[in-house]
């Protein structure tokens, strides 16, 4: 999938979403409870995001307008700002995963409860404003946003503080949006011309987008955009517009926004002509308003609907990659002939696999040999890993490694699924016990665990020998390549070594390690093990930021990140390049000890992995050895 920066540069227009706060109140959420919806009513928020995606929106804003410490305190709310923002971003990402199509998440950074550095009214000092915004940015980044929108702004010092807080942590694209009244100025008297003029002096330079939202209905907002357009064109900044559904009024005791979807859509063409690349809706707009904008902007005769799995799989030509035949052999045919590169992708949380297939295509085109597919990792419901593996193998000339857990199936169902996987051409299985349900969305669900991962290896070996778990004939022999996991960072390394030896004795063919970040972590494990009798794929998850590194080190079991690495990330904005460099150095040092890697993308973004895949393909030590022998 393209980055948001690429989309903003390449696309003629992209559709934003509609109102969040007023839409949540329409669902029965009280206004005072709105800021805490991501923590208290995540399903309601998730469903709202999905409605906008299904209506055609491709930019989804997080529900974090009031999620800063200053605003929350003014509302009498005590909350963990980082966690509130992280959770809101995560919910938006999960909605996108369920939707399955291309979409990008904008982290909303709203105003404080008072202006910043005002000379005429009570205000927040600039340095204090920065401190209020830093945890907002940290939480949104931890949640995996693709960019930021500093929105509903009325004064320039607040904009500068928000932008500086963002740019001190990341170089993701930023949109800045002002709220203009029907009289043509913001609450603190800023005109559209003054707002656009000030964009060149923001910390770090021009934003990716500038525009207007809220404050007024479609007609006054269009006027503000037209006034901003000449300077925006001069500066080369695309515009964004999110009008309200008219001016609100009270009808039967309820706030009512009068502008219909059809009326809001009438200004879409004029907004495009004025230079708007992003058009969505603000207060009072609904999924119907967004659908109307989509129809007007695309000239489509009928609303776009979410494509079915059949539509996607039938349209295989769109992947632009020839189909692969069913593999009679698994990954073992490549070991010691080439350095194996696999990429781990999580199945979508809904029925649409388009985004996953696109990511798989991209990494395959850049040289990946395999895609390894999680089996509802972290005990969260996702599309079947088996079905995902089959979809990938139908469209792409790559091997798949099916993660298969014993958590969800009794011994009978487990064997049935494995036989079905073999019939569908799946040859590589990573035998796992699986995360307990208590970690995920269905804490009340019953875990099965008739057998553990060691028992699963034994079942797979029995199939390869032509028998089931009871020794009964199955009418042939399967050809599974059996993988197992190992954690070189285990707290009780002796216990981990014992279990690993049991997996080898049960018949494992290859091993995949937990992600590591320092060579000595693997070297210590191998020394205690006395070497490995089977090929090893090293787990590598390139870091992208200091906050991600701290989170992984402190909160994810099995991952240890040294202080020397944490210090390198601590004072840089965007750690993507550093993460790639450290990952390459790690792999180069360990190359003599491993037969391949599996790369784990942060937030399912495969683009940062592409330079690593290309480099490893060029430096393949096994290819060099084979060529030398000839």
CATH number for the domain that contains residue 154: 3.20.20.330
Say if 491 falls within a structural domain.
yes
* 226-232 CB contacts, 8 Å cutoff, 24+ apart: 226/274, 227/184, 227/191, 227/192, 227/193, 228/192, 228/193, 228/195, 228/196, 229/274, 229/275, 231/193, 231/196, 231/197, 232/196, 232/275
Do residue 342 and residue 200 come from a single domain?
Answer: no
Residue 343: half-sphere exposure toward Cβ, Cα within 13 Å: 31
Q: What is the DSSP string of 472-494?
A: -B-SS----EEEEEE-TT-SSHH
Do residue 282 and residue 331 come from a single domain?
Answer: no
- List all residues 6 or more positions away from 262 whose beta carbon is below 8 Å from its beta carbon: 292
The answer to whether 561 and 627 are in contact (CB under 8 A) is no
Question: Residue 159 is encoded by which pair of tokens?
Answer: 């904009």
Lowest mean pLDDT among 178-182, 189-193, 327-331: 327-331
Do residue 363 and residue 274 come from a single domain?
Answer: no
Helix (H, G, I), strand (E, B) or coil at 212: strand
Residue 302's pLDDT is 36
The answer to whether residue 323 scores a pLDDT higher than 50 is no
Q: Which residues of 101-134 are buried (b: 16+ CB within 10 A; e: fewer)?
A: bebbbbbbbbbbbbbbbeeeeebbeeeebbebbb
For residue 627, name the pLDDT band (cuts at 50, 70, 90).
low
Pick from 331, 222, 202: nearest CA to 268: 222
Q: What is the DSSP string of 372-389?
A: EE-SSGGG---S-HHHHH
Helix (H, G, I), strand (E, B) or coil at 330: coil
Burial of 440 from C-beta contacts in 10 A (0-12 / 13-18 / 19+): middle
Do residue 354 and residue 230 come from a single domain?
Answer: no
Report, as an integer, the average pLDDT of 343-360. Answer: 92
Domain tally, the chain? 2
Say if 313 falls within a structural domain.
no
The answer to whether residue 459 scores a pLDDT higher than 80 is yes
Residue 214 annotated in ligand binding: yes
Cα torsion 16, 21, 26, 27: sign: positive
The answer to whether 597 and 584 are in contact (CB under 8 A) is no
Pick from 110, 107, 66: nearest CA to 89: 107
Residue 283 annotated in ligand binding: yes
Cα–Cα distance list, 491 to 55, 169, 475, 496, 605 (Å)? 48, 32, 44, 9, 30
Q: Give the whole-angstrom CA distance, residue 485 versus residue 537.
A: 10
Percentage with pLDDT > 90 across the chain: 74
For residue 444, name the pLDDT band (cuts at 50, 70, 90).
confident
Cα torsion 324, 337, 540, 146: sign: negative
Could you list the residue range(s) of the whole structural domain that residue 606 is in?
324-629
Q: Which run of H or E residues covers position 128?
A: helix 126-143
The secondary structure of 133-196, three-state, reads: HHHHHHHHHHHCCCEEEEEEECCHHHHHHHHHHHHCCCCCCEEEEECCCCCCCCCCCCCHHHHH
Q: Give the whole-angstrom CA distance, residue 309 versus residue 7.
A: 25
For residue 251, name the pLDDT band (cuts at 50, 70, 90).
low
Residue 343's pLDDT is 97
Distance of CA 237 to the CA centre of its chain: 27
Residue 6's pLDDT is 84
Q: Name the CA radius of gyration of the chain, rounded.
A: 26
Do residue 463 and residue 332 come from a single domain?
Answer: yes
Say if 309 falls within a structural domain.
no
The last residue of one of the domains, among 270, 302, 334, is: 302
Do residue 400 and residue 437 come from a single domain?
Answer: yes
Partner residues linked to 279 by β-bridges: 15, 241
The answer to whether residue 313 scores a pLDDT higher than 70 is no
For residue 247, name the pLDDT band (cuts at 50, 70, 90).
confident
Do residue 270 and residue 418 come from a single domain?
Answer: no
Partner residues linked to 428 by β-bridges: 401, 481
Helix (H, G, I), strand (E, B) or coil at 332: helix
For residue 424, name the pLDDT band (cuts at 50, 70, 90).
very high
β strands within 489-607, DSSP E: 510-515, 536-540, 596-599
Say if 317 falls within a structural domain.
no
pLDDT digits over 106-136, tens only? 999 999 999 999 988 999 999 999 999 999 9
Average pLDDT score over the chain: 89
Pick from 487, 495, 494, 553: nearest CA to 522: 487
For residue 218, name the pLDDT band (cuts at 50, 70, 90).
very high
Say if 315 falls within a structural domain.
no
Say if 319 falls within a structural domain.
no
> Where do we find the tokens 């665990």?
449
- List all residues 6 or more positions away from 76 whose beta carbon is below 8 Å from its beta carbon: none
Do residue 205 and residue 286 come from a single domain?
Answer: yes
Question: Pseudo-torsion of CA 356, 357, 359, 361, nearest 10°?
Answer: 170
> Where do we find the tokens 């050809």?
479
Say if 339 falls within a structural domain.
yes
> Where do we find the tokens 């799946």?
426
Do residue 250 and residue 376 come from a single domain?
Answer: no
Residue 370 annotated in ligand binding: no
Do residue 468 and residue 565 come from a single domain?
Answer: yes
Residue 250's pLDDT is 62
Do residue 24 and residue 137 come from a single domain?
Answer: yes
The last residue of one of the domains, among 269, 302, 335, is: 302
Q: What is the DSSP string of 291-322?
A: HHHHHHHHT-SS---PPPHHHHHHTGGGG-SP
Say if 228 falls within a structural domain.
yes
β strands within 3-48, DSSP E: 14-15
Lowest mean pLDDT among 85-89, 265-269, 417-421, 621-625: 621-625
Do residue 535 and residue 585 come from a single domain?
Answer: yes
Residue 564's pLDDT is 92
Residue 1's pLDDT is 67
Lowest mean pLDDT among 319-323, 363-367, 499-503: 319-323
């Amino acid at each position: 999938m393209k980055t948001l920066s690429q989309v903003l540069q390449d696309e003629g227009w992209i559709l934003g979403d509609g109102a969040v706060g007023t839409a949540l109140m329409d669902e029965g959420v009280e206004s005072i409870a709105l800021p805490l919806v991501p923590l208290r009513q995540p399903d309601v928020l998730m469903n709202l995001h999905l409605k906008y995606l299904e209506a055609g929106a491709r930019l989804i804003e997080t529900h974090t307008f009031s999620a800063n410490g200053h605003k929350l305190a003014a509302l009498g709310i005590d909350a963990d700002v980082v966690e509130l923002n992280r959770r809101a971003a995560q919910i938006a990402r999960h909605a996108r995963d369920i939707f399955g199509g291309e979409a990008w998440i904008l982290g909303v950074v709203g105003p404080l409860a008072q202006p910043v550095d005002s000379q005429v009214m009570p205000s927040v000092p600039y340095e204090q404003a920065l401190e209020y915004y830093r945890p907002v940015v940290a939480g949104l980044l931890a949640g995996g946003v693709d960019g930021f929108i500093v929105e509903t702004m009325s004064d320039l010092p607040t904009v500068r503080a928000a932008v500086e807080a963002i740019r001190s942590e990341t170089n993701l694209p930023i949109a800045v949006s002002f709220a203009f009244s029907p009289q043509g100025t913001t609450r603190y008297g800023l005109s559209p011309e003054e707002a656009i003029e000030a964009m060149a002096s923001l910390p770090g330079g021009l934003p990716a987008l500038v525009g207007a939202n809220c404050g007024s209905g479609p007609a006054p907002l269009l006027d503000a955009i037209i006034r901003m357009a000449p300077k925006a064109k001069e500066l080369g900044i695309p515009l964004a517009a999110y009008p309200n559904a008219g001016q609100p009024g009270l009808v039967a005791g309820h706030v009512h926004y009068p502008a219909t979807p059809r009326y809001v859509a009438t200004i879409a063409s004029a907004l495009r002509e004025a230079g708007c690349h992003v058009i969505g809706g603000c207060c009072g707009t609904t999924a119907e308003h967004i659908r109307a904008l989509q129809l007007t902007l695309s000239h489509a005769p009928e609303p776009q609907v979410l494509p079915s799995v059949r539509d996607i799989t039938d349209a295989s030509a769109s992947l632009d990659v020839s189909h692969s035949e069913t593999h009679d052999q698994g990954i073992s045919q490549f070991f010691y002939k080439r350095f194996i590169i696999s990429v781990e992708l999580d199945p979508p949380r809904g029925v649409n696999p388009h985004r996953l297939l696109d990511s798989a295509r991209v990494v395959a085109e850049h040289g990946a040999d395999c895609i390894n597919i999680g089996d509802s990792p972290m005990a969260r419901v996702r599309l079947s890993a088996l079905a995902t593996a089959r979809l990938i193998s139908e469209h792409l000339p790559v091997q798949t490694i099916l993660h298969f857990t014993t958590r969800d199936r009794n011994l009978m169902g487990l064997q049935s699924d494995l036989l079905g996987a073999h019939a569908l051409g799946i040859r590589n299985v990573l035998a796992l016990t699986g995360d307990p349900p208590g970690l995920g969305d269905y804490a009340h669900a019953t875990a099965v665990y008739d057998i553990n991962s060691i028992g699963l290896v034994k079942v797979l070996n029995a199939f390869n020998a032509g028998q089931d778990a009871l020794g009964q004939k199955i009418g042939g022999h399967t050809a599974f390549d059996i993988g197992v996991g190992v954690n070189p960072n285990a707290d009780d390394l002796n216990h981990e070594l014992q279990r690993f030896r049991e997996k080898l004795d049960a018949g494992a063919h290859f091993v995949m390690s937990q992600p590591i970040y320092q060579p000595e972590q693997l070297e210590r494990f191998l020394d205690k093990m006395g070497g490995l009798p089977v090929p090893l794929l090293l787990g590598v998850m390139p870091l992208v930021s200091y906050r991600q590194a701290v989170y992984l080190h402190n909160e994810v079991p099995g991952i240890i990140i040294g202080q020397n690495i944490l210090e390198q990330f601590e004072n840089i904005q965007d750690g993507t390049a550093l993460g790639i460099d450290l990952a390459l150095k790690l792999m180069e040092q360990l190359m003599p000890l491993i037969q391949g890697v599996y790369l784990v993308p942060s937030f399912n973004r495969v683009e940062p992995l592409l330079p690593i895949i290309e480099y490893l393909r060029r430096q393949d030590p096994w290819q060099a050895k084979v060529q030398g022998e000839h």
